[in-house]
Structure 1
Amino acid sequence: MIDVIFPLMGKQLPVDHGYYLFSAISSVLPDLHNDTTFGIHPVNGQIVGNRILNLTEFSRLVIRTPVEHIRRILPLAGKTLNVGNHLIYLGIPNTNAITPSSQVYSRLVVIKGFMEPETFLAATCRQLSDLNIQGDASLVEQHHIAAINNGRFSGTHSPYLRRTINIHGKEIVGFALRVGNLTDEDSLRLQEHGIGGRRKFGCGIFVPVRNINGRT
């Protein structure tokens, strides 16, 4: 698997942009609509009021795809996308191969039917076992993200970072998740397959913990 990284020019996106971004990409590359081999990372930026994300010079569109499918992604270069009534322009991409890390993180994992911390974590462990991955899964706590975000907490009373994504007007609940004590082989496998569903909408995509700044 490899990450195809497009420079991103524009002003703003909705904070909850996963569904809109996938729809915009599908309008340019309709053959990706039913493809389950790729995932779209959440776009990084600066969260401001009214659930808006200000784009910065470091904002990127990142698509995780099998190496043999890179050519299918490249036609996005130079395109303008309408993402929730916000226009963004994509530059010429580069690529990064996924790399192993003993700890990886996903800002939002959703597993259908599991919306409470304890049952969600148990379902996560079952999925890891199904992938033959040995690792320690844990829900990310509020204070961890607050430390990264200069003390800013999200508006929830749960000690865990519960997040939602809106798809077709329906709020889907998930959690930020960390998996540690991974071997190189298991780390790569987890980054290739992810956990849960909705990878096209930015869910269940893992990155090395050292790279989570800007993706929280």
Structure 2
Amino acid sequence: MHIDLSYRLSGNQPIHCDHGYALFASVSRLLPEVHAENGIAIHPIGGRQNGDRQMTLMPWSTLSFRVAAEKIPVLLSLAGKSLVLHDATVRVGVPEVRTLAPATALRSRLVVIKVAHTDAAALTAETFAAAARKQMEQLAISSEVMLSIGKRRTLRMKQREVVGYEVIVEGLTAEESIALQENGIGGKRHMGCGVFLPLGEKVMP
């Protein structure tokens, strides 16, 4: 069984909207197990966008991990620690556990899928949708579900950018919904990609 382990975040400095790599690196410095464990997914941090690709932390902003329940102990020592995200420092609060609940519609802000023989410039929404369908089929998700490809987005990793898209999946059964939430699709889930939440839940736009 997978759960979301969430810590309230506090900080007075704005953070970059594209913080997936910086967040993963900062957490890994405190918990090397996270760097080595590919089964741990990290949600994007939500907040209020204030322009220039930056956002302000809000009372509901959290650092959240999607993990198998037995891996919770690995993450508990983060409570009370500070994380450095580019030029900002944020404080990690007390953790809360939330079980995954089925929802007929799920959204991931950014999914990245490496498509063979296709570079970033040539990655169209249609090509991406076909690759996403193929990965969902591997999770036993019906081809009848509605797949919507949204905004084209990027994840900056040091000196390069990885290209992907926002993804919304609708018409899921309870079993399909849990499978997609637990496994996601695409890569870089430890950097906030391919992590699905119920459509309409408060996250970064």
- Out of 113, 119, 133, the position equivalent to 1:125 is 133
How far the C-alpha of 1:25 sits from its partner, in A, is 0.2
Aligned-residue offset at 1:49? 2.3
Counterpart mapping for 1:16-165 below 5 A: 16-113=18-115, 115-134=123-142, 135-140=145-150, 161-165=151-155
Runs of 4 or more, structure 1, over 6 Å off, are none
Query: Which residue is 2:195 aligned to?
Result: 205
Name the structure with the higher strand share.
Answer: 2
How many correspondences in the alignment? 195
Q: Secondary structure at the match of 2:200?
A: helix
Match of 1:123, SS state, is: helix
* RMSD between superposed Cα atoms in Å: 1.1
The residue aligned with 1:143 is none
**Counterpart amino acid of residue 42 in structure 1:** P
Q: Is the 8 A contact 2:7 2:63 kept in 1?
A: yes
Looking at structure 2, the residues matched to 190 and 3 of structure 1 have their Cα atoms a distance apart, in angstroms, of 14
User: Residue in 2 aligned with 1:3?
Assistant: 4
Which whole-Å CA distance do the structure 1 matches of 2:38 and 2:188 have between them? 10
User: Is 2:48–2:204's contact at 8 Å kept on the other side of the alignment?
Assistant: no
Name the CA distance, whole Å, in 1 between partners of 2:193 and 2:203: 16
The residue that corresponds to 1:155 in the other structure is none
Partner of 1:156 in structure 2? Answer: none
Letter in 1 for 2:10: M
Which amino acid in structure 1 is aligned with residue 180 of structure 2? L
For 1:6, give the aligned amino acid. Answer: Y
Structure 2 unaligned spans of 5+: none
C-alpha separation between the residues in 1 aligned to 2:100 and 2:203?
Answer: 18
Q: Quote the offset at 1:112 in angstroms.
A: 1.2
Match of 1:185 in 2: 175
Q: Distance in 2 between matches of 1:70 and 1:110?
A: 26
TM-score by length of 1: 0.87
- 1:32: how far off? 1.3
Matched to 2:189, the amino acid is: R
Normalising by structure 2, what TM-score?
A: 0.92
Once the two structures are TM-superposed, the CA of residue 137 in structure 1 deviates from its matched residue by 1.5
Q: CA deviation at 1:58?
A: 1.4
CA distance in 1, matches of 2:99, 2:58: 24
Q: C-alpha offsets along residues 16-44 of structure 1, whole Å, 9 cap, x if unaligned?
A: 10000000000000111021111110000
Deviations 1:76-100 (A, max 9, x none): 0000111112100001111101110
3-state SS of paired residue (1:104)? strand
Q: Deviations over 1:157-215 (max 9, x none)?
A: xxxx111110121111111101111110010000000010000110000001131x333
Q: Which amino acid aligns with 1:117?
A: A
